Amino acid sequence: GAWGSVFIGMLQQMYGTFQAEIDIRIWRRPNKLVDKATLEKLMVVINKDETTLRRLRNNSVYLKYVSARLGDRKLTADELLQDGFCLNLPDLPLCPLKVITELDEAVYDADIIINGLPSTETRSVFEKVGKVFSHTRGDSHPWPVIISLSKGVETKMKPHPHILTPTLIIHEVTGIPLENCMYLGGPNIAAEIWRGEYATARLCGSSKKLRKALSAFLRNDDFVVWTSSDTITHEVMGGLKNIYALGMGITTAVTNNSATSKAVYFSNAAAEMVFITRLLSQRPDELQGPLLADTYVTLLKGRNAWYGERLGAGIYHPSMGDYVPGKGLIQGVSAVHAFHDLLSQKDVEIFDRVTEKHVSPVEALPTLCMLKEYLQTGKNESCDSKSPEERKSEMVEAGKVFITKLKDASATDPARRLRTESLYLPMLTTLPGEEISEEIDDGDDDNAINGPKFTVASDEE
């Protein structure tokens, strides 16, 4: 993906001259062919940028791109990455990267592993990583540190309803201690980070020692890394913001970019995000600082908002799927279904202060329900069963219904409707067979949390 490629490119720029001490490499699945439209765009970008043009010429690879553009040969995504281009970011040349296409070769001796995979791919890939580690790790070669960039969750309904964030998935399938599994997130648009625009992020994990060392390692003049021990809230928010960004895009399209309507939507979305984090974390960080900023930039300019806007305008249709060439996987789509399914389970109940009854949490989350319903529009139909005009009309009408329901939901102040205290449901983040831990990270690594819970107060270094 774009962010994973930019992140490794940033490290390459920072540490590439220390090849004897630091070996930076990126794994990518091999043999994914680059389509003609992307090649045409690449050639425009290459020929317009003298620095890139000269680099490709000096490395004797420019003619390879000319031949591919003329249809005389094929180019793969891993070849692009090796030459400094990301398939999902073709407009922006990066730096050349050391690309490895064999997973075991990429990870077997790594001290730090960056997880730039979508949350939907994390389990399948790290199961393979775990098998590699079962043969290569021991007393003489300790566990690596994981820094996960992945946003989203996996939901499981048995033996009890619960979620697995990417760091929990990695811990479960590899055996890497949780104190070695960290999450990095913040208001980061990949292309803008690469251009050197000033940005901040938070590195989250239960080990203060690792947080402090790695935040210094990742930090540069334009990319400031703060720290927090509240991993669960930051990972969950990373998934939730993608969900609610879809709705912001829909609202933007249907209301002709009305700032007032988008503000109404944001007030409802923010209240629901806070509500959900309080179900999943005992002492969650507040929706402020990087958490709020990450939500803001995703709703403003992220690919999920971009996709939602095109759904609202009828340019895209749910039956087309959630992968967009040049953008990648739209993670908010699967996250909507995952959170809706989890929070509608009969085993998961809260007390609704409006109806004064015990209900499933999803009943108190009208915006999440609206998004679920909206994404079901024509979902079971073949993409070819309707003309483009019919699909557009269907999505435009669904968008109008969405806004009508937003108005209905806004009849009650969401801050009053959604009680945000005493909501914590420990089972939702507890792995089967593991005890619930309520320890607090006091900054002493000897007391670092090793259980499945990181529901602790944030501390900043």
Single out the residue of 294, 214, 280, 309 nearest to residue 454, CA to CA.
Answer: 280
Question: Are 54 and 95 in contact, with CB atoms under 8 Å apart?
Answer: no
Q: One of 151, 208, 241, 262 is an active-site residue; which one?
A: 241
Name 360's Cβ contacts closer than 8 Å, sequence gap at least 6. 343, 344, 345, 346, 348, 349, 350
Q: Which two tokens stand for residue 209?
A: 């020692």
Report how far apart the first and last C-alpha atoms of the chain are (Å, whole number). 30
Whose tokens are 């004897």? That residue is 20
Question: Are 359 and 345 in contact, with CB atoms under 8 Å apart?
Answer: no
| Cβ neighbourhood burial of 140 (10 Å; 0-12, 13-18, 19+) | exposed
- How far, in Å, CA of 329 to CA of 334, rounded? 10
Q: Which two tokens stand for residue 215?
A: 């935040």
Q: Which two tokens stand for residue 14?
A: 């920072």
Give the other-Cβ count within 10 Å of 242's Cβ. 27
Q: Which amino acid is at 331?
A: Q
Q: CB-hemisphere CA count at 13 Å for 349? A: 7
- How far, in Å, CA of 338 to CA of 430, rounded? 17
Q: What is the DSSP string of 118-155?
A: -HHHHHHHHHHHHHHHHHH-BTTBPPPEEEE-----EE
Single out the residue of 220, 189, 177, 7 nearest to residue 95, CA to CA.
Answer: 7
> If DSSP codes are grouped into helix, strand and coil, which group holds residue 375?
helix
Q: Which amino acid is at 399?
A: G
Q: Is 98 a catalytic residue?
A: no
- How far, in Å, CA of 75 to CA of 238, rounded? 33
* Torsion sign across C-alpha atoms 129, 130, 136, 137: positive
| Cβ neighbourhood burial of 392 (10 Å; 0-12, 13-18, 19+) | middle
The bridge status of strand 223-228 relative to strand 199-204 is: parallel
Catalytic residue numbers read: 241
